[in-house]
Amino acid sequence: MTDTTTPRSTTAPATSPSSPALGALGLFTVLLAAALPLVDFFIVNVALPSIDSDLHASEAVLELVVAGYGVAYAVLLVLGGRLGDLFGRRRLFLAGMAAFGLTSLACGLAPGAWSLVAARVAQGAAAAAMLPQVLATIQATTAGPRRARAMGLYGATAGLAMVAGQILGGVLVAADIAGTGWRAVFLVNVPVVLAGLLLAGRSLPETHSPRPEPLDGPGTALLAAALLTLLLPLTEGRAAGWPLWTWLSLAAFPLAAAAFYAVERRADRAGRTPLVPPSLFASLTLRRGLLLILPFSIGFSGFMFVVAVALQQGAGLGPVAAGSALLPLAVAFFFTSLAGPRLVARWGTRIIAAGSVLQAAGLALVLLAAHRSWPDLSAWTLLPGGALAGAGQAMQLPVIYRVVLSDVPATRAGVGSGVMMTTQQSALALGVATLGTLFLSLTPTTGMRDALTTTLAVQLGLVALTGLLSLRLPRTIG
């Protein structure tokens, strides 16, 4: 049997005898912080009808409530990782978490739709400062089996947070705590952040890059331009009626991306320090792992958005029932992820392909249930498919994270985690934009049932692509 915990590269270990160690309380704290931004990406899906009713927002503005957060988050993640390497990851973590709490409070108290959009953009920026420090701290303070366990827990936390966000959103909206209604989905972050700050102050070690790299102004601006020209028109185009600016923006994307790559390559060759060093992509596992994140995350976020809309607007379920329909997926994900490290130790990266087969079987059952039982969908009709899909996802996501970062040296832990999270967040936003747009565009002509089944069929293709791409990975993980 192959021991997949044996390093397969000559990358220097991330820790040394003098390196600070991340204890159990510190790991719990960073995992709590890792959950917050992902919960908040999905928590608003079931709250949008209530926000619309209360603030009388147009469809385009409502989409900005989702997209403003996701785009700001994606655009600034790499910069957040670089700032942590430069000024200290603990310092950036605390600042980002405090800002996340304040912007969550601003979202919960927003008097109008546009003020909510502005607060959500600021909340996404705060998340971008906080989240890269989580993975960078794990990379810099753990090694060997401890790192494998920590990365497995991180992947399990991330996947569970994405599902739990939608469930929690439904419960909070329906509970209408003290008359807060939809505002509770944001206000709930405040006590969690306060607890996280207290825990981090006691348990989180400070780490820096041994060779901190200065900021790259041109690279930062061009990366922001490339992501904005791609994500904004795709997330806002359909609701806005595809005006001219959306097409001009999409046409500008390849130009901005090419300019970003040229500037970064020139800086790397000149011995300067680019925002995203092209030499970072010399790692085969990083390149192929990032490629896997794209179809997985696009399909995941598209599924969550489409199911939320279909269950509430098509099947007539309330926010609690719509959120509870995803409970089988969340429970199966949680328990399967606990077995993840043992499965990886035995089967290596082939567990990703096995997980994609299981997820595809679950999605096929969900599709069949939607086709046969529409509009009488509930947690019971979706239970078999949701459970299988959740188990399959748990066999993929934590392992993909480990693959991407397995060869990233500690000196570049911040930028490596920033690149990975930017890829994931951009893919999550693209999932809502592409699969969500497909579903909403088909609904008026084909009906919601057929629109849902068509969208699920497209996601099945993305799951198959993830499984096939995983076969190109090295069997072992460093």
Asked whether 200 and 93 are in contact (CB, 8 A), the reply is: yes
The pLDDT value recorded for residue 478 is: 58
Locate 251 and state its tokens: 């046409």
Distance of CA 275 to the CA centre of its chain: 21
Q: Residues of the chain with pLDDT > 70: what percent?
A: 94
The pLDDT tens digits of the residues spanning 38-94 come to: 888 888 877 888 888 889 887 778 878 887 888 888 888 888 888 888 888 899 999
Highest averaged pLDDT of the listed ranges 104-108, 315-319, 347-351, 412-416: 104-108
The pLDDT tens digits of the residues spanning 6-15 come to: 333 333 344 4
Contacts by 310-313, CB closer than 8 A, 24 or more apart: 310/370, 310/377, 310/439, 310/448, 310/452, 311/377, 312/46, 312/49, 313/49, 313/448
Asked whether 432 and 70 are in contact (CB, 8 A), the reply is: yes
pTM, 2 dp: 0.80
Q: Which amino acid is it at 249?
A: S
The pLDDT value recorded for residue 45 is: 76
Neighbours of 234 (CB within 10 A): 22
3-state SS assignment for residue 3: coil
Highest averaged pLDDT of the listed ranges 127-141, 157-171, 243-257: 243-257
Looking at residue 43, the DSSP 8-state letter turns out to be T
> What's the rounded mean pLDDT across residues 132-139?
86
> What's the rounded mean pLDDT across residues 169-179?
84
Residue 94: which residues within 8 A CB-CB, separation 6 or more? 197, 200, 201, 204
The pLDDT value recorded for residue 1 is: 40
**pLDDT at 17 exceeding the cut of 70:** no
Asked whether 415 and 81 are in contact (CB, 8 A), the reply is: yes
* Residue 2's pLDDT band (cuts 50, 70, 90): very low
> Measuring CA to CA, which residue among 410, 446, 190, 477 is closest to residue 310?
446
Length of the chain: 478
The pLDDT value recorded for residue 319 is: 75
The pLDDT value recorded for residue 276 is: 81
> Measuring CA to CA, which residue among 110, 113, 65, 76 is closest to residue 235?
65
Q: Which amino acid is it at 45?
A: N
**pLDDT at 24 exceeding the cut of 50:** yes
Distance CA(33)–CA(39), nearest Å, equals: 10
Q: Which amino acid is it at 18?
A: S
The per-residue pLDDT of the chain, averaged, comes to 84
The pLDDT value recorded for residue 410 is: 67
The pLDDT value recorded for residue 413 is: 67
Highest averaged pLDDT of the listed ranges 187-201, 234-248, 321-335: 187-201
Distance CA(4)–CA(450), nearest Å, equals: 44
